[in-house]
């Protein structure tokens, strides 16, 4: 990353806009008194467009943000709330500032999506500022990549003070000499590795893990007859693709069974 290799004094950093006291006070009043009916202007500062699509699905019939009076307007001059999406590319800094200055004070700024909050997946790209807050004072952060329509509505509700935020910063210190039980102690380690490889080969990284965990959990639950447990798992599975993987895993299990 450039920040790490290049002396800080020689780098140019954008100065975030600082609210003056009067505007800040007015904004606090606005945040306290406004309950619904806010007009929203959307500024895309270099996202992948996923966030935009979710904003638009928030105002469609299923989620219908307009029933609260939340309306997407075509000009920042009408807006109470500005939604900034995207990781704030260097060339979008100026347009972002222009939109901000065009909106009447007091205004609420929402950082939308992982990109808007911190830069998200693009955070260490050479051409981004890494989110909205290096440039503008942000009031509400809506994480997600992209945030689903319900989480967008939740974000609006949080900004308007209708719902309380659920997340809170936490820091814990683990006690020394805490022990973790071994996962699947009944299955020999090498067999477990073989299962996990096979499942990932069959159905990819995320689902492979879920399928192999389900399979191994079934095996270990039945302490008497693991093969019968595997059979009943295969028989009860309705998804044929998943059943194929289970059958494959069982074949692997059979190949490891040694007659005594």
Residue 76 or 130: which CB sits closer to another protein?
A: 130
Contact pick of 34, 39, 50, 222 for ligand SF4 (by CB under 6 A): 50
Beta 71-72 vs 81-85: how paired, if at all?
unpaired
Q: Select the residue interacting with ligand SF4 from 76, 113, 155, 208 (CB under 6 A).
A: 113
Apex CA 249: angle with CA 244 and CA 252, to 5°? 130
Q: How far is it, in rounded angstroms, from Cα 51 to Cα 122?
A: 14
| 184 belongs to the binding site for ligand SF4 (CB under 6 A) | no
Report d(CA 197, CA 212) in Å as an integer.
9
CA 10 to chain centre: 34
- Residue 181 C-beta: closest distance to another protein, Å: 9
Question: Is the separation of the CB atoms in 19 and 27 below 8 Å?
Answer: yes
Residue 57 near ligand SF4 by CB under 6 A: no
Residues 107/80, Cβ–Cβ less than 8 Å: yes
Q: Could you tell me the smallest distance in angstroms from the CB atom of residue 147 to ligand SF4?
A: 8
Q: Alpha-carbon distance 120 to 114, whole Å?
A: 4
* CA 29, 32, 38, 44 torsion-angle sign: positive
Residues that bind another protein (CB under 8 A): 61-64, 67, 114, 117-121, 123-124, 131, 133, 138-145, 147-148, 150-151, 153-155, 157-159, 162-163, 165-174, 176-180, 182-183, 185, 188-190, 205-206, 208-209, 213
Residue 106 interface partner, choices another protein, ligand SF4, none, CB cut-off 5-8 Å depending on type: none
User: Given candidates 58, 85, 132, 152, which one binds ligand SF4 under the rule CB under 6 A?
Assistant: 85
Q: Which residues of 239-253 are buried (b: 16+ CB within 10 A; e: fewer)?
A: eeebeebbebbbebb
Closer of 106 and 147 to ligand SF4 (Cβ): 147
Q: How far is the CB of 63 from another protein (least distance, A)?
A: 6
Q: Name which of 106 and 120 has its Cβ closer to ligand SF4.
A: 120
Position 137 contacts ligand SF4 (CB under 6 A): no
At closest approach, how far in Å is the CB of 119 from ligand SF4?
9
> Which residue of 76, 86, 149, 208 would you call a contact of ligand SF4, by CB under 6 A?
86
The whole-angstrom separation of Cα 198 and Cα 219 is: 16
Q: How far, in Å, CA of 142 to CA of 152, rounded?
A: 7
Taking the least distance from each CB to another protein, the nearer of 4 and 179 is 179
Q: Does 114 help bind ligand SF4 (rule: CB under 6 A)? A: yes
> Closest Cα to residue 53, out of 131, 93, 113?
113
């Amino acid at each position: 990353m450039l920040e790490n290799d290049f002396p800080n004094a020689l780098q140019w950093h954008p100065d975030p806009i600082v609210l003056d006291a009067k505007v800040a006070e007015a904004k606090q009043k606005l945040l306290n008194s406004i309950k619904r009916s806010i007009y929203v202007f959307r500024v895309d500062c270099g996202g992948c467009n996923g966030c935009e699509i979710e904003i638009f699905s928030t105002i469609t019939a299923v989620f219908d943000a307009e029933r609260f009076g939340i309306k997407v307007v075509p000009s920042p001059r009408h807006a109470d709330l500005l939604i900034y999406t995207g990781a704030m590319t260097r060339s979008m800094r100026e347009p972002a500032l222009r939109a901000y200055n065009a909106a009447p004070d007091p205004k609420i700024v929402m950082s939308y999506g992982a990109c808007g909050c911190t830069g998200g997946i693009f955070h260490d790209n050479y051409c981004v500022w890494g989110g909205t807050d290096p440039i503008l004072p942000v009031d509400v952060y809506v994480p997600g990549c992209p945030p689903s329509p319900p989480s967008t509505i939740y974000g609006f509700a949080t900004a308007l003070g209708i719902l309380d935020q659920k997340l809170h910063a936490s820091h814990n210190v683990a006690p020394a000499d805490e022990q973790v039980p071994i996962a699947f102690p009944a299955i020999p380690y090498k067999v477990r590795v073989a299962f996990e490889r096979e499942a990932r080969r069959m159905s990819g990284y995320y689902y492979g893990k879920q399928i192999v965990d389900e399979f191994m959990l079934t095996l270990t639950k039945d302490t008497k007859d693991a093969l019968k447990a595997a059979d009943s798992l295969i028989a009860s599975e309705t998804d044929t693709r998943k059943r194929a993987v289970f059958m494959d895993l069982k074949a692997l299990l059979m190949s490891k069974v040694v007659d005594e």
